Amino acid sequence: MEGIFELIHYQYFTNAILASLLAAISCGITGTYVVSRRIVFISGGITHTSFGGIGIGYFLGFNPVWGAAMFSVLSGLGIEYFTRKGNIRNDSVIAMVWSLGMAIGVIFIYLTPGYAPNLMTYLFGSILTVNSSDLYMLFALTLVIILFFSFFFRRIQYISFDQEYASSLNLHVGFINYSLMALVSLTIVFNIKLVGIILLLSMLTIPQNAANLITKDYKKIIFLSILIGFAGSLCGLVISYFLNIPSGATIIFSLVCIYLLMRLFLSLRKLFAQ
């Protein structure tokens, strides 16, 4: 325990804790929408498409996060547009966007002059390298997400479970869906540094499914997802530090363990209650 308290005195570890909290809030809120609307595969496509923006950012010499943000938002809005129009099958659009983003990223990273950049931070995450600018961006995004969900919460609930009914009530389904897809895309991008492109989808789904074991109430799922996500991030962060193993993978492993333990506990309680 003394070793854990000593870590708090280090700035990089404090940044990692703050990033974990902001990630838990942003992923907890948007992830609840992703899971309830059953667009997990779409989120996976957006996640991998962001690699194209990272490659362009490296090639042109600006922050790869902004390139990833541009690519992710455009791909998310594009997928939503073609899904609503129904001209192309949903899974086909996602596959094309997914592969296009990865291909563009590989090409531009290969064309980048000098040594190839270290992509491990973007692929698998490195929460201990989070700096102040990363925290400011993540805080701004989290604030926008909280305000948007607070203002449109009832409409988001209707849209998440029954879009046709929401449309019949004139709840501006198109505007809210496009806005939410943009927020999901930005959530993915600004959290890439924490767990990486490959593992980020788990942050948007595991806490929500764990919370869903306890309650079916939309608002309660959001709060429980935030709590579970933060707990899993802290556990993974501490374990990765002391065992000197990748932080992103350890965070996801911790979240999976929490989910399995919750499921086991609820199964045993149900068994002994009979």
> Nearest-CA neighbor of 197 among 101, 113, 263?
101
Range of the domain at 254: 2-273
* CATH code for position 262: 1.10.3470.10
DSSP-H helix ranges across the chain: 2-7, 11-37, 40-60, 64-85, 90-111, 120-124, 132-161, 163-168, 173-190, 192-195, 200-203, 206-212, 218-243, 247-273
117-144 per-position pLDDT tens digit: 666 667 777 777 788 888 898 999 999 9
Are 236 and 254 in contact, with CB atoms under 8 Å apart?
yes
Domain count, the chain: 1
pLDDT band at 88 (very low <50, low <70, confident <90, very high): low
Give me the mean pLDDT over the 179-185 stretch.
Answer: 90
Higher-pLDDT residue of 44 and 265 is: 265
Higher-pLDDT residue of 89 and 242 is: 242
Q: Which two tokens stand for residue 97?
A: 């966007």
Q: Would you state the pLDDT for residue 37?
A: 82
Give me the mean pLDDT over the 191-208 stretch.
Answer: 83
pLDDT band at 116 (very low <50, low <70, confident <90, very high): low
Q: Would you state the pLDDT for residue 115?
A: 64
Higher-pLDDT residue of 158 and 124 is: 158
Global pTM value: 0.86
Identity of the residue numbered 72: S
Give the burial string for 236-253 (b: 16+ CB within 10 Å, else e): bbbebbeeeebbbbbbbb
Q: Which two tokens stand for residue 201?
A: 């989808």
> Nearest-CA neighbor of 214 among 266, 156, 145?
266
d(CA 252, CA 258): 10
> Nearest-CA neighbor of 195 among 61, 24, 36, 3?
24
Give me the mean pLDDT over the 154-176 stretch.
Answer: 79
